[in-house]
Structure 1
Amino acid sequence: MNKFWIVLSHTYLSKLKTKSFIISTVIMMALILVLTNISKFIVTFDSDDQEKVAVIDLTEGSLFDSYKTAVAGVNDELSIISAQDEKEADEMVKAEEIVGYLLIEKDDSLGFKGTYKANQISDSMVSNDLLLALTQLKSQITANELKLTEQQITQLNTPPAFETIALQENAKTEEDLNQARGLVYVLLFVIYFGVLMYATMIAMEVATEKTSRVMEILISSVPPVTQMFAKIMGVALLSLTQMILFFGLGYLSIKQNLTGMNEGFFAFFGFGSINISTIIYAIIFALLGYLLYATLAACLGSVVSKIEDVQQMISPMTMLVVIAFMIAMFGLGNPSASYITITSFIPFFTPMIMFLRVGMLDVPFWEIAISIAVLILTIILLGIIGAKIYRGGVLMYGSSKSLKSIKNALQLSKKN
């Protein structure tokens, strides 16, 4: 057992002191500070200058004043000025006095139409606001022509009452689902990047030791299986250290700059009403997902003799993580779909997809228990098989050819 702790502490401390770990941690902490202070940055860098748009009224000058009022009602930061013709407007655009100009002209079938011209139309917010104001103006003119009263106009523009009610007992409301969707979206990214990054780190660690021939010294004093699980737990402690730093800094920054989680970015993603059970399940599935893929990564890394071959060898594992993540992303819109339910019980997809279901739906506990049990059994089975591959793989040198290398590692482990 002492050998296990020696390898674990060596793995943890050696990775903790590396420049790559320190630099990536500092960059992520800086990014967290930016995200938690994003509202302040927006206010600081937001320009006080209004965006100006010229309007060329080709309807005998009868719509300019009304349209200017309509735009002010839609977006008071958008300034409307008048232009005589397109030549004048073009010169104003070239001089950067305006962002673009709008032609309003008569149309036999629609009454009038608008054409917006600008150097770049990538900023769709301006054109959308102009269209909305033009639509409101057209509705107002049409209502006046039909001699509709204000009450009739209000009735015409008021949408019908519409409500969604879940018949299933304890089912989440639409508001709860929208809040849960944002939170699950963020946590899925945490699980995805965490599992992928730390599992790859283990494969690289094993391959690096084989390349430097350190493995030949280690296996003479520490059993290969002990090495494998010690490395997995060492990197797990490393990931826990990073997560504590990230979430601790994020929490302190939020407390320092905001009165709560119901503001800005955090309100949009539903952090204002975090359910503690969602956080617990996120930790459980993230941990189990890490153990599953870390064991697989250690096995694959053990049959590689060159660091350059690591990415090629672990590419099938990477694809599994990516597929699980993509299914989860599609499932955010319809978490009760049958393909989401089925794939949530497939071990390599369970960490993300079952967490998606738990975070957004009222899933029976027996389903959660079965998925966790299947996941644990898969980890144990993969650990047993993986230990044999690792035992033989660490003694293999030469070119790696995926399945053939794994077969050779298993045969070599039987001889030792």
Structure 2
Amino acid sequence: MNKFMTTFRHTYLSKVKAKSFIITTIIVMLLIILAGNFDKIMNLFDGSEEVGTIEVEASETFTAQFQAVMSEISDDIDVVDSGGDITLTVEETVPLSATVESDNEVNTAQQTEIEMALDAVNRQMVIESLDLSEEEANLMAAGITIDYDTGAAVTDADTGEIIEIEEPNYLNVVIFYITVFVMFFIVINYASQIGTEIAMEKSSRVIEMIVSSVSPVNHLFAKILAIICVSLTQLFFFVVTIIAVLYLVDIGSLISEFGLEANDRTVPMVVYSLIFLLLGLVLYLSVSALLGSFVSRMEDLQQALLPVTMMSLGGMYLGMFNLFDPGNLLVRITSYFPFFTPFVMPLRVLDPATSHLTVWTGILVILITIAVAVYFAARIYKGSILSTDQGIIKNIKKFNKGE
């Protein structure tokens, strides 16, 4: 155990203290902080100012109507008799023609509110000028109703009734996006690191001295565990930064501004996303160690790790391209393919028809695959650790022969 911990501690500390780890972590943390304060940063470059009062130069009837409408649309702008931040001069009433004068630029949101209020008043004055009845006025103001009856409607197999398809919850979609991109980023980064660690030791023959004091299997497991802990350490800093940003920023108003709301699947989505994120990291790092065990020289490393890159890319694109159709056949099939499961199974959690048993089946599939990958990685590493054969194919043939 002492030798295992020595290898683990050395690998972990060397990676955490590396300049690349520190710089990458700081950059991502800064990006998270910038994203959380995006609205404040944009305001720094926005020369417009918020309007608190507006002075209206028009008839008393128009001013009263505009004041009533404006109070319903905006809580920030008050209509005053004089000395307003901006002046609204009405030149014609039907159709409405007006000029807004201000010493400073009015921000876009408040411009929209003023235009909405003027549009509503204009509609009222047009109705009055045409001397329409109340029923005719209501018909003009009535909205339209459209029902789309398409072949895409889902019907119940037993009753034949049309099943209403729920609109996706966009907060859950955002959680899925973040999970997939973080997983892909860490997999691509640390898969190459663990492969490089193993291949470098074998190519430099340093391993000959190492195996004289520690067993190859313990040495390999210590390195795999150390790299996994390094990736989790970096993920920990990211999560702490996100929590700090959420605590310091009024995230409630920000979320409501984008129309994001939690539902009954938000908590399961967060829990399962974290589970598949961790399992996906362990799976891909274990497979990277397995593939790195076949390599005897650094020139072959990228070729050996190509399957990891292709499978992680495939999993990410499967999730992205089927984001708004999580229940289709392709998603259901690929969610049980071990190397796609960490990316695709969280997508199925978005679908209300997905049961917890289905998700736990995906977790079991990944756990079995991890056990198989670690087992073969240990066997191959132990058998090829002192191999001088050049090329991946020769090492694979040697393993198949049991040499």
> TM over 0.5, yes or no?
yes
Q: Tell me the distance in 2 between the aligned counterparts of 1:249 and 1:172.
A: 40
Cα gap change, 1:30 to 1:160, in 2 (>3 Å) = same
Q: Tell me the distance in 2 between the aligned counterparts of 1:278 and 1:310.
A: 36
Give the drift of 1:313.
Answer: 1.9
Q: Give a deviation string over 1:56-86, Cα, whole Å, max 9, x none.
A: xxxxxx9xx86888xx9x97659xxxxxxxx
* 1:215 alignment partner AA: I
User: Unpaired segments of 5 or more residues in structure 2?
Assistant: 50-91, 100-105, 116-121, 158-162
Q: Tell me the distance in 2 between the aligned counterparts of 1:409 and 1:227.
A: 22
Q: Residue 242 of structure 1: which of 234, 238, 245 is its match?
A: 234
Q: Give a deviation string over 1:373-399, Cα, whole Å, max 9, x none.
A: 222111112222222222234323464
Aligned pairs (5 A) from 1:371-410: 371-397=362-388, 399-401=390-392, 404-408=393-397, 410=399
Aligned pairs (5 A) from 1:93-108: none
Q: Is the 8 A contact 2:169 2:261 kept in 1?
A: no
Would you say 1:154 and 2:141 are equivalent positions?
A: yes
Give the drift of 1:190.
Answer: 1.6
Q: Is the 8 A contact 1:293 1:317 kept in 2?
A: yes
Aligned-CA RMSD value? 4.4
Q: Is the 8 A contact 1:299 1:393 kept in 2?
A: no
Cα gap change, 1:66 to 1:211, in 2 (>3 Å) = farther
* 1:325 alignment partner AA: M
Q: TM-score, normalised to structure 2's length?
A: 0.71
Higher mean displacement: 283-292 or 339-348: 283-292
* 2:9 alignment partner AA: S
Q: Tell me the distance in 2 between the aligned counterparts of 1:269 and 1:373.
A: 36
* 1:396 alignment partner AA: S
Q: Tell me the distance in 2 between the aligned counterparts of 1:191 and 1:327.
A: 14
Q: TM-score, normalised to structure 1's length?
A: 0.69
Q: Is the 8 A contact 1:8 1:233 kept in 2?
A: yes
Q: Tell me the distance in 2 between the aligned counterparts of 1:233 and 1:45.
A: 46
Q: Give a deviation string over 1:312-358, Cα, whole Å, max 9, x none.
A: 22112110010011001112110011111111011111111111112
Query: What corresponds to 1:46 in structure 2?
Result: 46
Aligned pairs (5 A) from 1:17-56: 17-48=17-48
Cα gap change, 1:364 to 1:17, in 2 (>3 Å) = same
Query: What corresponds to 1:6 in structure 2?
Result: 6
Give the drift of 1:252.
Answer: 1.5
Query: What corresponds to 1:366 in structure 2?
Result: 357
Cα gap change, 1:394 to 1:328, in 2 (>3 Å) = same
Q: Is the 8 A contact 1:225 1:387 kept in 2?
A: yes
Cα gap change, 1:409 to 1:225, in 2 (>3 Å) = farther
Aligned pairs (5 A) from 1:319-338: 319-338=310-329
User: Unpaired segments of 5 or more residues in structure 1?
Assistant: 50-61, 79-128, 130-136
Residue identity over aligned pairs, in percent, reads 32
Would you say 1:262 and 2:248 are equivalent positions?
A: no
Q: Tell me the distance in 2 between the aligned counterparts of 1:172 and 1:308.
A: 56
Give the drift of 1:279.
Answer: 2.5
The alignment partner of 2:169 has SS state of: helix
Q: Tell me the distance in 1 between the aligned counterparts of 2:38 and 2:155.
A: 36
Q: Give a deviation string over 1:226-272, Cα, whole Å, max 9, x none.
A: 222211110111112111111112212321232xx323268648486
Query: What corresponds to 2:75 in structure 1?
Result: none
Query: What corresponds to 2:178 in structure 1?
Result: 186
* 1:410 alignment partner AA: F
Q: Is the 8 A contact 2:154 2:165 kept in 1?
A: yes
Cα gap change, 1:222 to 1:335, in 2 (>3 Å) = same
Q: Give a deviation string over 1:156-193, Cα, whole Å, max 9, x none.
A: x534489x99989xx99846623211221122212222
Q: Tell me the distance in 2 between the aligned counterparts of 1:286 and 1:409.
A: 35
Q: Is the 8 A contact 2:295 2:395 kept in 1?
A: no
Would you say 1:230 and 2:222 are equivalent positions?
A: yes
Query: What corresponds to 1:122 in structure 2?
Result: none
Cα gap change, 1:378 to 1:67, in 2 (>3 Å) = farther
Q: Tell me the distance in 2 between the aligned counterparts of 1:360 and 1:407.
A: 42
The alignment partner of 2:252 has SS state of: coil
Give the drift of 1:154.
Answer: 2.0
